[in-house]
Amino acid sequence: MSIVSLFELPPEILELKKKVREFAEKEIRPLVPEIEKKNKIPDELIEKIYNPPNAFQATSFPKEYGGKGMGVLGFTAIAEEIAYFNGACGILVEIGELSGSSILFGTENQKKEFLPKLTQEGKIFAFAMTEPHCGSDAAAITTTAEADGDEYVINGRKWYISFADEAQYFVITAKTSPEKGARGISLFVAEKGPGVRLGKELIPMGLRGHRPFEVIFENCRVPKENLIGEEGRGLGYAVRTLHRCRISLAAGYLGLARAALDKAIEYAKERKAFGRSLYEFQAISFPIAEALADLEAARLLVYKAAWMYDKGENVAKESAMAKELASRVLLKAVDIAVTTLGGYGTIEDFDVERYYRDAKTWVFAQGTPEILKLTVSRSIFEPRRR
């Protein structure tokens, strides 16, 4: 149990948070060494996380589309709990939130068709935006989708696509009018099948088990009904989706930071040096005290952004601030944890080594810290672009 307190959340969210914590303690924690060793979340665990009644990836979505109707605040609360136990499982639920949130920009028919597959049938929808030559510059993609009768034909290569091997569907950005630049990008749902194949498997430094791949689309035919919303508005939908999803991602960072600090505290109490407990040295206890204050401050911002989102407010600035601050808090927390454990902190049996690798890997997802600062700066200096 963490020493970090919670401010009051609605009772149904607190209840779910507790349930998720109990689930993670029982089902995720014992499997972490296996996930690390095999770089894979066992299929049975994926099923337990994704299938009803748990279906944690369905938390935020409206009940009419099979979700739990608990909004971004509800999902934020559980994203923090899951990441406390394992970052890769955190990404697993996060890609459901990401793909499902972008489908919310679709027509009523599309929402009714695709969302229940994610929320009720446990299908995995990967999110495919990044390409080998561009990540932050999402308008520079070269993947194309050409209209051909009742279908679009998608060609291109996507890069660093989490859980691409496990996914049954991809939400993908592609250029329908390359000459229009950012305004020529559209969003599609593509089912895994003919025309979609996995390329290189990428082996990241941390978050083992989230299995990013290169994904190659070669004359992949999707029905016109799979174009989300309107042609040419795909990048706008994707960006607004990121504004929403950065909040729960930031909550994942808080969970991981909390796990690292809990380990540091435990060790500082147990370990003796020069006849004293480690925590009696202020060089050890003060950085922990400072990091806990930072963590509490970041939590307030993250949960405030979630609350604002659910009220229908524009959170472009707040979500960027929340994720950027949470990433700094996380990197500091894991550094303190490794320092507190000294040599033990660098050995794989001691968890904090994993937290350190996971943290450095995770902060680039869904907008690097620099891109988030760019978003915040623009909202200050060029507010009309907001």
- Site residues (CB under 6 A) for ligand FAD? 95, 126-130, 135-136, 160-162, 207, 212, 361-362, 364-365, 368, 370-371, 374
Name the minimum Å distance from CB 180 to ligand FAD. 21
With left for phi above 0 and alpha for psi between -120 and 50, is residue 356 left, alpha or beta?
A: alpha
Name the minimum Å distance from CB 284 to ligand FAD. 30
Count Cβ atoms within 10 A of the Cβ of residue 363 and give its class: 0-12 exposed, 13-18 middle, 19 or more buried. Answer: buried
83 vs 222, beta carbon nearer ligand FAD: 83
119 vs 162, beta carbon nearer ligand FAD: 162
Name the minimum Å distance from CB 192 to ligand FAD. 14
Residue 279 CA to residue 270 CA, distance in Å, equals: 9
Closest to 352 (Cα-Cα) out of 253, 254, 263: 263
163 vs 279, beta carbon nearer ligand FAD: 163
229 φ/ψ angles, rounded to the nearest 5 degrees: 60, -130
260 vs 371, beta carbon nearer ligand FAD: 371
Name the minimum Å distance from CB 126 to ligand FAD. 6
Cα pseudo-dihedral 311, 229, 125, 84, rounded to 10: -20
Name the minimum Å distance from CB 96 to ligand FAD. 11
16 vs 93, beta carbon nearer ligand FAD: 93
Name the minimum Å distance from CB 278 to ligand FAD. 32
Q: Which residue has the closest beta carbon to ligand FAD?
A: 135
Name the minimum Å distance from CB 149 to ligand FAD. 28
Angle at 162 between CA 158 and CA 166, to 5 degrees: 105
Count Cβ atoms within 10 A of the Cβ of residue 15 and give its class: 0-12 exposed, 13-18 middle, 19 or more buried. Answer: exposed
56 vs 267, beta carbon nearer ligand FAD: 56
Q: Can you name the residues that pair with 185 across neighbouring β-strands?
A: 175
207 vs 333, beta carbon nearer ligand FAD: 207
Is the distance from CB of 77 to CB of 13 less than 8 angstroms?
Answer: yes
Enter the tokens of residue 264. Answer: 């540091």
Closest to 87 (Cα-Cα) out of 124, 38, 48, 36: 36
Residue 67 CA to residue 45 CA, distance in Å, equals: 20
Q: Report CA 331 to chain centroid distance, whole Å.
A: 16
Name the minimum Å distance from CB 56 to ligand FAD. 17
Is the distance from CB of 141 to CB of 175 less than 8 angstroms?
Answer: yes
129 vs 326, beta carbon nearer ligand FAD: 129
